[in-house]
Amino acid sequence: MQDDLNTDAQIHDSALAAAPYGAFLCTADGTFRYVNFAYEQLTGYRAEELVGRRKFDSLHDPAELARRRAELPGVGNWGRDVPAAVASASVMAPGRYEGEWTYVRRNNTRIAVMLALASLPPLTSTVAASEPPGYIGMAVETTRYAQSEARLWYVSHHDGITRLPNQTLFAERLDLTVARCRRDGTGFTVLLVELNSLRKLRDALGSYAAELVLQIVGERLRSLIAYEGAIASVGGAQFALLIDETDAAADALAARALTRIAEPIDCSGTPLTVTASLGCAAYPVDGADVPTLMRRANVALSSASAAGGNVVRRFSAALEGHAARRFELETMLREALDRQQLHLVYQPQITLASGRIAQVETLLRWRHPERGLISPAEFVPVAEEAGLIERIGEWVIRTACRDASRLLRLTGSLPRVAVNVSPQQFQRQNLLATIESALQDAALDPSYLEVEITEGVLLGDTEEALQTLHALRKLGVEVAVDDFGTGYSSLAYLTRFPLNRLKIDRSFVIRMMTDAQCAALVGAIIAMAHALKLRVTAEGVETEEQAERLRELGCDEVQGFWFARPLSFTALRNLLAPLGHEPGPDAAAEGAAGGQHPSST
């Protein structure tokens, strides 16, 4: 039994000696009985300098100890000349204590420690029962933990790339500024800055180039604000600035910010030029609290981005109304997709030489049950922003192929059906598979289908675009460039890509009768296209004079209200059916189904 007790005592002694934090034992009057190695390291004193020679409170900062001696539980009488009975009763009172104190180390430096004390249980061994058992103490340096907490605070309140304050810290600064300005009756402006095309830059040159741009732009913006201002990196490619200026002064600083951002950045010898969009909201006119100010600055930023970037937009009630309308449209559009409220109409494209229908362009329409027809010019940009355009685009392709197959069965003839493909659809890299699947499901020959793309598609990932277009042409699908002349209109891509047709934008057709230069440009486009073996279609032909002028210039095909408005499925079927054509046995049923598509102008 005695051996077991000795073994336990040895284990306890070894554990105390190996403890990672400073530990000590002291008598009832505070005299050290034992200190471990960690305590020696903490205080700078060797054990033989402490044990039996000094009391534990002798290591405390004297001034602090004089003020706080009474905090120590049961040891407030240590070192005083008091009756033994009183001292014994005091020190033997059960209790625990924790508190922060300042130690004076052997070299007279001061460190902050967390001190923990606990009274030891009464002794039951042969040791004299009259001797109070004393205390066990632990002392842990808090300076390291304070530094760790400071590092943690910095990491949680700053952006890892730019080293600027993050959104959390910016919001705290905004709260303080709002309180100050509310008290002083002054104002300030919040600027939100978003870099344009940073993702494309990262894709082209890698993360290093994108991070370099963010760091340099952050420093440039920091240099623009006064000492009283604030700047933060609030995620992705966005920065937030708080400036004391308002009105014209704020607008001038915003303009300077765009100019500074656009200055070239050297990236390993390659000059990079980036632009930005910027939105402003001012306190208190645009919002009297932080959430409102930030939301309205974001509304202004969205408007600047929608305008093409590199512009400044100040918040206004009209912008907020527009944002609310876009959100409402997005919600309604999601519902429209689920409830099948979208439908297609078809506008014929006429061959000038023969008057025959060469193609029909598929046009998307939305008839809301309560609001009636909603213009594509209004809901298509919303669909692109909300990430719905790919789902809508696939539905258009499949529906157009299905309608084309039905028309062919009902009428015995079918012009080529053209469908518009958005840049987002083209970049998804599953366009070819979608078209193949739609053609197969509809049992439609690929020669009846044409894909219309914009110039922007050809100027993105050109190699990927080239592969996709060659695959479409190999399948038998034709390719047209829509709205030609409004984009880059590069001769290089006209020679590289397997195209069949150019469509001259309606803006040129409308102006060519009154603008000689515009008429010359239309003629040049037609001649250039013919030299490259491409057909040319003019959009937006609304008068006989326009049609005749295009005929003189050698234009192949025309599209516009002068020849035909967009037609429903049923109207197109009636237009395509030969005179006296007897429909097949399922024509009545097919016609009834087609008649459900409302026509639109």
Alpha-carbon gap, residue 444 to 345, rounded angstroms: 19
For residue 596, the model assigns a pLDDT of: 33
**Interval 148-158: pLDDT, tens:** 777 788 888 89
Q: What is the mean pLDDT of residues 165-186?
A: 91
pLDDT at 89 over 70: no
pTM for the model: 0.60
Which pLDDT does position 579 carry in this prediction? 39
- CATH superfamily name and code, 158-315: Reverse transcriptase/Diguanylate cyclase domain (3.30.70.270)
**Which residue did the predictor score with more confidence, 494 or 314?**
314
More confident residue, 545 or 83: 545
CA–CA gap between residue 347 and residue 551 (Å, rounded): 20
| Helix residue spans in 497-568 (DSSP H) | 506-511, 516-531, 544-552
Query: pLDDT at residue 598 above 80?
Result: no
Beta bridge partners of 451: 419, 479
Q: What is the CATH number of domain 13-147?
A: 3.30.450.20
Strand segments, DSSP code E, in 135-187 are 135-141
Residues near 301 by Cβ (< 8 Å), separated by ≥ 6?
192, 193, 194, 277, 278, 279, 313
Is 261 exposed, middle or buried (CB count within 10 Å of its CB: 0-12, 13-18, 19+)?
Answer: buried
Going from N- to C-terminal start, the domains of the chain cover 13-147, 158-315, 326-580
Single out the residue of 530, 527, 480 nearest to residue 505, CA to CA: 480
CATH of domain 326-580: 3.20.20.450
Instruction: Give burial (CB, 10 Å; 0-12/13-18/19+) of 9.
Output: exposed
Can you give the pLDDT at residue 594? 35
- Judged against a pLDDT cut of 80, whether residue 502 lies above it is answered with yes
Lookup result for tokens 């002083």 = 184
Mean pLDDT of 458-468: 74
Residue-level pLDDT at 600: 31
Spell out where 44-187 has E strands: 96-104, 110-119, 135-141
- Provide the CA 341 distance to its chain's centre, in angstroms: 30
- Report pLDDT digits (tens) over 11-60: 556 778 888 889 999 988 889 999 999 999 999 999 999 999 999 999 99
Q: What is the pLDDT of residue 84?
A: 40
Model pLDDT, residue 489: 53
- pLDDT tens, position by position, 583-596: 443 443 333 333 33
| Burial class of 136 by CB neighbour count within 10 A (0 to 12, 13 to 18, 19+) | middle
Annotate 239-308 with DSSP letters as a single string: EEEEES--HHHHHHHHHHHHHHHTS-EEETTEEE---EEEEEEEETTS-SSHHHHHHHHHHHHHHHHHTT
Cis peptide before 271 (omega within 30 of 0): no
Q: Which of 7-16, 214-223, 433-442, 489-498 has the lowest mean pLDDT?
A: 7-16
Give the residue among 464, 480, 467, 466 at the shortest CA–CA distance from 417. 480
Which are the contacts of 542, defined by CB distance < 8 A and separation ≥ 6?
Answer: 510, 560, 561, 562
| pLDDT value of residue 74 | 55
pLDDT band at 194 (very low <50, low <70, confident <90, very high): very high
Lowest-confidence pick of 61-70, 256-265, 370-379, 570-579 = 570-579
- Across the chain, mean pLDDT equals 83
pLDDT digits (tens, 9 = 90+) for 538-566: 999 999 999 999 999 999 999 999 999 99
| 143: confidence class by pLDDT, cuts 50, 70, 90 | confident
Question: What percent of the chain clears pLDDT 70, i.e. is strictly above it?
Answer: 86
Position with higher pLDDT, 63 vs 12: 63
pLDDT at 125: 52
Q: Are strands 135-141 and 110-119 parallel, antiparallel or unpaired?
A: antiparallel
Q: How confident is the model at residue 119 (pLDDT cuts 50, 70, 90)?
A: confident
Encoding tokens for residue 595?
A: 């008649």
pLDDT the model gives residue 484: 84
